[in-house]
Amino acid sequence: MEYSGDEYDIIVVGAGIMGSSTAYQTSKRSQKTLLLEQFDFLHHRGSSHGESRTIRATYPEDYYTPLVMESYKLWQQAESEIGYNVYFKAHQLDMAPANDKVLHAVVESCRKNSVAFRVMNRDQMDQEFSGRVMIPEDWVGVVTEHGGVIKPTKAVSMFQTLALQNGAVLRDNMEVKGVERDRVRGGVWVCTANGERFWGKKCVVTVGAWTTKLVKTVGGVELPIQPLETTVCYWRIKEGHEGGFAIGGDFPTFASYGNPYIYGTPSLEYPGLIKVAVHGGYPCDPDNRPWGPGNPLAPLKEWIEGRFSGVVDSGGPVATQLCMYSMTPDEDFVIDFLGGEFGKDVVVGGGFSGHGFKMSPVVGRILADLALTGEAQGVELKHFRIARFQENPKGNAKHFL
């Protein structure tokens, strides 16, 4: 193995949104930072590519809302540093049967976190959205101001550009094969497939759907993070109705609870099309992707027909994209030290379970805090600890399920 001679305060492995946000944070704090990516930068084979991600503060777990609220500020801060926008504001609409336990937990969480919300019945919803969103008689909608869309590929590029401007070194097509403890002077050696070796005081591992594989190789730790392949679907808005579903007006980002959980964003990236998709997917090996068949379409067609009063064509999506989730059993993140022989020198951020993008600025801030100071300022991380799976293989208990 060839020693490149380069030494770093922090080596970040994986340049999706979490690694890029972390490298931005550490470089901003004047730490000599190296960001390594196995594929081309901004590739489409992980979880952070594409045109839109929802940001919302409505979580049944009350510990996510403060992370989202901090992220709003951090998104704005990064936007002001780079000079362009990645976040586009909208309201958020959550809808479900009136007796749905998850929706009740969301309302409780909003109350606890002082997030203003309005609960609407079918008639009020009809009025609020001028007939564009119809819910069944026994359903309710919850509207908050804290919604919106983030452009993912543009956001990854933003953090990478800012990290570069702050002096970070970014290298792509550098697959990390191992991380080893330096037993002589402390710190770690990070070894890549092309035979290079880099020394770092600390290492942050943010490798998305590859987390289970790499963490097992590096630390012998079995993490229950299951990669899923999932499908994003775009549907045509019927002629004459496009404006009513466009971002920038009063049409919200939205989520519909139940099985399946369906979510979507106003028309933005492809004018005249609206994104409506199912949260979930089928297990996959990130190194041997099936690239299909895609999520079943029948529930989406039925949902679109019922909710959008026939003005969105429910015959089938006109465009689809594949992407990967990294699912934990409880759908809570993994943010922790790897431990073992690495102690606090290796930090892992993974298992973002299909809902991490919105919080990537605060996740980067927390991962940087953990690596640089050994603790995260002002955040309770107990729900994100690796040890929770030893106590219960299913992870955190959820009172609303």
Task: Output 358 or 388, the one with its CB closest to ligand FAD.
Answer: 358
Q: How far is the CB of 117 from ligand FAD (least distance, A)?
A: 19
Helix axes 65-82, 152-165, angle to 10 degrees: 60
Asked whether position 92 contacts ligand FAD by CB under 6 A, the answer is no
Region near ligand FAD per CB under 6 A, out of 40-48, 98-106, 308-316, 383-391: 40-48
> Which of residues 132, 355, 365, 388 is near ligand FAD by CB under 6 A?
355
Asked whether position 264 contacts ligand FAD by CB under 6 A, the answer is no
For residue 73, give the DSSP letter. Answer: H
Region near ligand FAD per CB under 6 A, out of 39-47, 93-101, 135-143, 267-275: 39-47
Site for ligand FAD in 167-226 (CB under 6 A): 175-176, 206-210, 214
Q: How far is the CB of 137 from ligand FAD (least distance, A)?
A: 29
Asked whether position 133 contacts ligand FAD by CB under 6 A, the answer is no
Q: Of the candidates 41, 282, 258, which has an alpha carbon nearest to the alpha carbon of residue 153?
A: 41
> Which of residues 13, 35, 268, 376 is near ligand FAD by CB under 6 A?
13
Asked whether position 148 contacts ligand FAD by CB under 6 A, the answer is no
* Greatest CA separation for the chain: 70
Phi-psi region of 95 (alpha: psi -120 to 50; beta: other; left: phi over 0): beta
Long-range Cβ contact pairs of 73-79 (< 8 A, separation 24 or more): 74/361, 74/362, 74/365, 75/150, 75/361, 78/24, 78/158, 78/159, 78/162, 78/361, 79/158
Task: List C-alpha distances in Å: 207 to 26, 64, 149, 199, 330.
Answer: 17, 21, 24, 19, 19
Q: How far is the CB of 390 from ligand FAD (least distance, A)?
A: 22
Task: Output 169 or 311, the one with its CB closest to ligand FAD.
Answer: 169
Asked whether position 362 contacts ligand FAD by CB under 6 A, the answer is no
Q: Cα(263)–Cα(265) distance, rounded to whole angstroms?
A: 7
> Which of residues 358, 361, 367, 368 is near ligand FAD by CB under 6 A?
358
- In this structure, what token pair is assigned to residue 3? 């020693």
Length of the chain in terms of residues written? 401
Asked whether position 53 contacts ligand FAD by CB under 6 A, the answer is yes
Task: Output 181 or 241, the one with its CB closest to ligand FAD.
Answer: 181
Asked whether position 33 contacts ligand FAD by CB under 6 A, the answer is no
Question: Binding-site residue total for ligand FAD (CB under 6 A)?
Answer: 35
Task: Output 241 or 289, the one with its CB closest to ligand FAD.
Answer: 289
**Other Cβ atoms within 10 Å of 197 Cβ, number:** 16
Task: Output 14 or 60, the one with its CB closest to ligand FAD.
Answer: 14
Q: Cα(24)–Cα(159) distance, rounded to whole angstroms?
A: 6
Region near ligand FAD per CB under 6 A, out of 23-31, 90-98, 140-148, 317-325: 317-325
What sign for the dihedral angle of Cα 121, 124, 125, 131? positive
Asked whether position 334 contacts ligand FAD by CB under 6 A, the answer is no
Asked whether position 42 contacts ligand FAD by CB under 6 A, the answer is no
> Which of residues 11, 12, 15, 274 is near ligand FAD by CB under 6 A?
15
Asked whether position 232 contacts ligand FAD by CB under 6 A, the answer is yes
Instruction: Output the CA angle 45-195-284, nearest 5 degrees.
Output: 25
Q: Are 94 and 106 in contact (CB under 8 A)?
A: yes
Q: How far is the CB of 332 from ligand FAD (least distance, A)?
A: 12
Q: Are 21 and 361 in contact (CB under 8 A)?
A: yes
> Which of residues 39, 189, 261, 337 is near ligand FAD by CB under 6 A?
39
Asked whether position 361 contacts ligand FAD by CB under 6 A, the answer is no
Q: Which residues pair with 337 in a beta bridge?
A: 347
Task: Output 44 or 394, the one with its CB closest to ligand FAD.
Answer: 44
**Other Cβ atoms within 10 Å of 315 Cβ, number:** 11
**Residue 287: phi, psi to the nearest 5?**
-95, 0
Q: Cα(339)–Cα(346) distance, rounded to whole angstroms?
A: 7
Region near ligand FAD per CB under 6 A, out of 89-97, 157-165, 239-247, 322-330: 322-330
Which residues of this protein are in contact with ligand FAD, per CB under 6 A? 13-19, 36-39, 46-48, 53-54, 175-176, 206-210, 214, 230, 232, 323-325, 352, 354-358
